[in-house]
Amino acid sequence: MIAVRGLDKWFGGIHAVREVSLDIGRNTITGLIGPNGAGKSTLFNVIAGLFAPTGGTVHLDGEDVTGLPPHTLFRRGLLRTFQLAQEFHSLPVRENLMMVPPHQPGENLFNAWFRPGAVAAHEAELRDKADEVLEFLTLSHLANERAENLSGGQKKLLELGRTMMVDAKIVFLDEVGAGVNRTLLGTIAEVIQRLQAERGYTFCVIEHDMDFIARLCDPVIVMAEGAVLAQGTSDEIMANEHVIEAYLGTGSKHARPKQAGEGAARPGSPS
């Protein structure tokens, strides 16, 4: 689904992404892990069009999409969520979902004035679809709740729901488990697995919780200092000496000095 070749990103004198080449297979859940500052989110942002690459290419479903802006990639089925949920906080949950599909007839002034029936019919279709999504996510009881009142985990589920309102080909999830309690994290994992199995979604997941990664992801890709360090199953990755060194900062050429307050992660449980 995604083919990245020689992707580079510089910010002034900082080489944030270093000639990364990787593939994300269709209908897979690929994990992307690495120490803080490894370049994971920057790689996501370059692939998703938030940053233009300094070099290299990105292909989506066989088509060169290098440097295309996020709204164009969104229409081609590439969606990205963020570590901090980006909900419309003052709108009810259902309306957050109904806002997602592009080119709605009600956005056109002519339609709003002269084709109110068509606008109303489309709104009814969107409402029905949003209610189906909320039922899938077990959030129906919160349909009329303002999004700002949801818990962190519920907001992450809402973001997954927004991807279901359009024809997503691949979804990039950035630390979907951040700030989420274990019960809701299990629900999120189940939703991701169902979307893959039942709806053919492809996912790429940045996450520090290795239990979550091990449950969901195959393969797992490890980054360090902006480059790909290793790739394999979760068991292979947790047994990889270079990966352990990169996390512990014990001398790997890919390791970087730990920053103040960062701490060291245990092998198999990165932080």
Distance CA 157, CA 197 (A): 17
> Residue-wise over 175-187: b if at least 16 C-beta within 10 A, else e?
bbbbebeeebbeb
Q: In what order do the strands lie in the sheet with 78-80?
A: 78-80, 170-174, 202-206, 29-33, 220-224, 227-232
Quick: pLDDT tens for 205-232: 998 888 899 989 999 999 999 999 999 9
Place of tokens 């990889």: 240
Q: Which domains does the chain have, with CATH numbers?
A: 1-87+168-271 (3.40.50.300), 90-149 (no CATH)
Return the percent helix, strand and coil in the chain, to nearest 5.
40, 25, 40
Task: Specify the pTM.
Answer: 0.81
Does residue 270 have a pLDDT over 80?
no
Three-class SS state of 88: coil
Note the pLDDT of residue 249. 59
Note the pLDDT of residue 167. 77
Closest Cα partner for 262 from 244, 243, 249, 245?
A: 249
Does residue 250 have a pLDDT over 60?
no
| Alpha-helix runs per DSSP H in the chain | 40-47, 70-75, 93-98, 109-114, 116-136, 152-163, 182-199, 210-216, 234-238, 241-248
Note the pLDDT of residue 152. 87
Does residue 266 have a pLDDT over 50?
no
Closest Cα partner for 75 from 65, 83, 84, 87?
A: 65
Structure-model confidence comparison of residues 222 and 252, the more confident one = 222
Mean of the per-residue pLDDT values of the chain = 85
| Residue 93 binned pLDDT confidence (cut-offs 50, 70, 90) | very high
Quick: pLDDT tens for 105-119: 666 677 667 777 776
Note the pLDDT of residue 226. 94
Does residue 259 have a pLDDT over 60?
no
Note the pLDDT of residue 106. 67
Structure-model confidence comparison of residues 86 and 175, the more confident one = 175
Quick: pLDDT tens for 56-68: 999 999 999 999 9
Note the pLDDT of residue 271. 33
Does residue 244 have a pLDDT over 90?
no
Q: Mean pLDDT throughout 228-241?
A: 91
Does residue 30 have a pLDDT over 90?
yes
Q: List phi, psi (to 5°) of 2.
A: -125, 130
Query: Residue 99 is which amino acid?
Result: M
Q: Mean pLDDT throughout 224-249?
A: 87
Note the pLDDT of residue 267. 37
Distance CA 117, CA 119 (A): 5
Range name among 56-60, 99-103, 133-137, 173-177 with the lowest pLDDT average: 99-103
Report CA 247 to chain centroid distance, whole Å. Answer: 22
